[in-house]
Amino acid sequence: MAKNCEHAKRQLIIMRHGKSDWDADVEDFYRPLKKRGVESAQKIGYWLNDQQLIPDIIIASPAIRALATSEHVAAAIGMTDIEQDARIYEASLSQLLSVLADIPTEYRRPMIVGHNPGFEELLLHLSKVDDSFYKGYKLMTTAAIAILNMPDDWQQLDRYCGELVDVVRGGDLK
């Protein structure tokens, strides 16, 4: 078991945005979701609802594809509010750790929605990841969520402080 997880009081859901439309002639920030990205985001939302893993806050990158992913997940679980945090777009590991450190303690299961490579780096920093969580050579594929048990103090998120519970991919859900 990971350090400080024996009595984990918080969970973290990390979600990479759904499949984006590379055919759209727009700058990276404005790239929309493909139909498949929309469907996978909705499936993740319904899966979270079925598993009773409802986040109490969704914090998203303001990039169009991440925000749209967040909106589809939120609609599927009956949420309306999504917070945007510009630090998530093109974020480094240290920026993502700062985002997590700023989440108020009253939120027990926050969800962050954003991009690789930062999200995969964050996941590999927070927990040891067994090979069984990979799909081919990829960990955080598009519309994938990672669910982690986390220590209560998010001001000190040392390496391997969390425990990876599961990785679920929207494209693998029915």
Structurally, the chain folds into a number of domains equal to: 1
By percentage, how much of the chain surpasses pLDDT 70? 95
Residue 1 lies in a domain: no
pLDDT digits (tens, 9 = 90+) for 26-66: 999 999 999 999 999 999 999 999 999 999 999 999 999 99
Q: Is the pLDDT of residue 137 over 90?
A: no
Q: From CA 20, how far away is CA 143, in angstroms rounded?
A: 10
Residue 58 lies in a domain: yes
Q: Is the pLDDT of residue 150 over 70?
A: yes
CATH number of the domain where residue 72 is located: 3.40.50.1240
| CA geometry: angle 88, 171, 47, nearest 5 deg | 80
Q: Give residue 5's pLDDT band: very low, low, confident or very high (50, 70, 90).
A: very low
Q: From CA 156, how far away is CA 158, in angstroms rounded?
A: 6
Residue 2 lies in a domain: no
Residue 19 lies in a domain: yes
Structure tokens at 171: 């494209």
Q: Are strands 10-16 and 144-150 parallel, antiparallel or unpaired?
A: antiparallel
Structure tokens at 144: 């994938």
Residue 15 lies in a domain: yes
Residue 4 lies in a domain: no
> Exposed, middle or buried by CB within 10 Å (0-12, 13-18, 19+), for 24?
middle
Q: Is the pLDDT of residue 121 over 50?
A: yes
Q: Are 41 and 72 in contact (CB under 8 A)?
A: yes
Q: From CA 113, how far away is CA 72, in angstroms rounded?
A: 12
- Domain interval for residue 148: 10-172
Write down the mean pLDDT value for the chain. 92
Structure tokens at 130: 């067994």
Q: 0.75 exceeded by the pTM?
A: yes
Residue 116 lies in a domain: yes
Residue 3 lies in a domain: no
